[in-house]
Structure 1
Amino acid sequence: MAWYLVEITYVQEKLQEVRPRHREFLGKLAEQGRVAVAGPLGDGTGGLTLYQADDEAHLKETIDQDPYFLEGVVAERSVREFKPVIGAWLPEGS
């Protein structure tokens, strides 16, 4: 399993309507241990999510099912693999 940092920029006009479905989607992934943390940027222009996935193809399958993506809230999206080495939430021996 690998970690991926996904940053999106919002289409503001659609954001409020779709946000509850997006948060439900991410909440389910968090319960499965596939989302470590997620939230909007302070300026409200977009958001960040830290996902765990088998590989980048698996991640893309997942994030393409996000209501934000399906319903046109995502103006831009970037995906970068992340290799955490320090942090209170990391398993022992990482």
Structure 2
Amino acid sequence: MAWFLVEITYVQEKMPDVRPRHREFLSKLAAEGRVAVAGPLGDGTGGLTLYQADDEAHLKETIDQDPYFLEGVVAERSIREFKPVIGAWIPQES
């Protein structure tokens, strides 16, 4: 499994109506352990999510099902692999 940091920029006028479905989608993934943290940027222009997935192809399959993506809220999206090494939530290597 790998970690990926996904940043999106919103189409502002579409975002408020879709937000409840987007948050429900992310909450389900968080309950499955596939989302570590997610939230909007302070300026409201977009958001960041830290996902865990088998690989980037699996991640794209997952995030392409996000209501924000399906309903045209995502103006831009970037995906970068992330290698966390410090943090209270990171499992300790044995």
Same structural fold, with TM-score higher than 0.5 when normalized by the shorter chain: yes
Paired-residue identity, %: 88
Shift of 1:26: 0.1
Give 1:39's aligned amino acid: G
Report the equivalent of 1:10. 10
The total of aligned residue pairs comes to: 94
Counterparts of residues 1-94 of structure 1 (less than 5 Å)? 1-93=1-93
> Separation in 1 of the partners of 2:21 and 2:93?
36
C-alpha RMSD over aligned residues: 0.8
Shift of 1:93: 1.3
> Separation in 1 of the partners of 2:31 and 2:76?
26
| SS of residue in 2 equivalent to 1:65 | coil
| SS of residue in 1 equivalent to 2:27 | helix
> Separation in 2 of the partners of 1:37 and 1:85?
16
Deviation string, structure 1 residues 53-88 (Cα, Å, up to 9, x no partner): 000000000000000000000000000000001110
Shift of 1:92: 1.3
> Separation in 2 of the partners of 1:54 and 1:93?
18
Q: Using structure 1 for the length normalisation, give the TM-score.
A: 0.99
Deviation string, structure 1 residues 21-71 (Cα, Å, up to 9, x no partner): 000000000000000000000000000000000000000000000000000
Give 2:85's aligned amino acid: V
Runs (4 or more) in structure 1 with deviation over 3 Å come to none
Q: Unaligned stretches of 5+ in structure 1?
A: none
Q: Using structure 2 for the length normalisation, give the TM-score.
A: 0.99
Q: Unaligned stretches of 5+ in structure 2?
A: none
